[in-house]
Structure 1
Amino acid sequence: MEESNNYVKRSQRDYTLSFKINVVKEIELGELSIPDACRNYGIQSRSTVVNWLRKFGKFDWENQTQLNMPKSPEQRILELEAKVKLLEKQKAQLERQNYISDSKAIIFDMMIDIAEKKLKIDVRKNYKSAQSIVSAKKYKKV
């Protein structure tokens, strides 16, 4: 009893780029499943086909979404509403941080004013200092 089986074990060198792309297209169109593709084309392992899908397919593996799949208006609205909520939350957090930093700046200015009055020293930096002799000569030459 001899069974005719058209299954031929293949090596990786047999897989041309066009072959890989055709297998990926058939799987993405729903004509074949991954195990069916392995069985029909003699592909050694399922992971080989999965790697091809990641390299040549239209599925975005990082975001787990179909790249060219159009979204319904309801899906788009839900996504935008979620994005608006996230942005509002971020805005509120930034406004709180801004309020805290403004309050700290006011408090530090008040502390410096008190220290200057009580200790009778200038604590603030004096920005209008005289130029050094070396830098004054450099700027005069130009």
Structure 2
Amino acid sequence: MENSSNYVKRSQRDYSMSLKLQIVSDIEKGFISITQARKQYGIQSRSTVVQWLIKFGNFDWENQSPIKMAKTPEQKIMELEAQVKLLEKQKAFLEKQAFVADKKVILFDMMIDLAEKEYHIDIRKNSVPEQSTNSEKKNEKQ
């Protein structure tokens, strides 16, 4: 039985070093994907290209891990300084809002005073409200 396909099994030794480096460079620059490189250059396995990326690429494959690395004291200081700056901005914003709110209170007080003088009416309550008579009757029954 004859094999009609023209498939030739190749090994990594069949590819020149310059070709490997060119493929790795193109993949890292984003010009082609691993799959496109395989098809374009007739590479049989994805893992072959991945091995080239590990050996010759710029990405640090050994130190990639989902676990976060411990931060250096300098990194912690920089993060804390950034957090302090953010909190200072927030403080300044809130102080400005408080200042504006105080001015509004003064303005509304002046408006109420003016309205009371102009229209001769009491807008503010000057005395503590007395209890209603219903609650006094309930207290007497007990």
TM-score by length of 1: 0.50
Greater radius of gyration (CA): 2
> Normalising by structure 2, what TM-score?
0.50
